[in-house]
Structure 1
């Protein structure tokens, strides 16, 4: 397998990196996160113009047909610059769920998502940890030629900004069953929908969404028996999360190395101290190992050879190694590494938040032993 980016993929990566370097430095990012929206609609429009919002979707759906390597090429810079825009939420989760449908309604929403005209959010997590779709318990009862939806979804990324919600609910069976899951379109403004928005520890926007006897028509159904379609969506989202984390790890390593070579004690750079040098070496090895696992798993996914064990190894490794890199960066910087004025703490929080989504490192490393 060739683990290097092609010329086209490297050009894509360079263009995204150049845009973020010019328009999305740490101070600008802090201002964006602190704004009312919590993300930049100007940047989102630029992403649409660059084709990034249509990148992962196949050409039959109006997308660009990009693979996992193209996704990693842009997700690493996203992580390094702590992107606050809802790319993961609207493209990798909500948009990918819409792409599984064959109705005109889902196709129209997907077209708007790819064009940057709408935000889609996947309402999936239920608060007890549902890394496996079969664990979803929320029910959608058949009623009057449609569905009656009641229950609550938690940690819905971009849930407060969404123009459409794609809700994972159970039309039959019990939690633990693969059969009986469905994807349903819900208008966030519909009667019975209550949205409580908040900011996550890493600066992204999310929401808890409650459904109180929400009435849906038959046209709200995107896909029945959705478990088999959901798993690849979640696998690709995990890859995007891990690529972001690896990008953040690279930024932590670079900034910490630079700090160690310029910060002086006793008249010499602290990087010359054996303990700091060993810590930087450990950080470098952890980053290299995480990125190698990321690129290997990306190649497996693009070749159609990745299994559940490969995804679990990736998520477990990146979560564990990312924590090591982040904690080492903070320790090297000392107290200033914990402040909001320095990007180190924010990069570490992005790594921790990514680890918590879709099953943390402990869950996935335990899962490896069962596969």
Structure 2
């Protein structure tokens, strides 16, 4: 084959996204290999559409539709023909690729969540939109993936890695003949960094089991560091639903679910803190010096705030801090809060 018949093709190498580990070192988010079949419509010659469709396990009608869409998008640039084909389809395809000039395969990876937990915690990854590309000042290109929510979004710059480029010479039969200039102008892809989270996946599992068939949230925090050990929103969903070809359908199912499994209750829900807040109220009062361990208040079975009366479950009379905590006395901690807001220059609600 003459040199004039050879073609130089540039192919992007997509990096493996960084794995996410829990606090014990267990991998809780990882990657699985998939492949995209790319096509440059202007380079396609007459081919056996049925053979290609069978290899890809798609219908003849779909194969023709995908080609029309690729031509409409760009006749001269590589465009996805079928995304995320399986390893089995890829193996079949490699044996017959020489029969399909203009087609090539692209290595990709997709996310896998081995424990099927923490859908709202980990979030999901999706192909970039034009808005994403514009916001990134064209760092992203069409076909790139980006974290859209959860940890995947928050740590996108850590997890995404860096694209690479491979320049390859192909002959007239679309068979690769080797690297251009011995790879001098190639750029290696750089995998994303591993992210070690504060999550304990076993605690996460327990939390999700406890919240099964319930509506609400659990957040477990390591007091000494503030690390999040577990974050549960219920109802939730299996994060693997938002991976692969059916991602769009599953996403719409979640959005349309009346129980709102896609709503992150742990960080966006509003819930009265209840008596769990009373020890915090006490600690702040002690720190601010408005009370000490011996401070007493009189509990007449209620606390009067302006024209609103807040009931207490007990009639304890004069009560100290220790007993106030033990009895979960509403009156005592309303007085503490009153002193805090008065000290900090806020209007005393008892006088309104």
Give the TM-score category using the shorter length.
under 0.3
Task: Give TM-score scaled by structure 1 length.
Answer: 0.21
Which has the higher Rg, Structure 1 or Structure 2?
2
Q: Higher helix fraction: Structure 1 or Structure 2?
A: 1
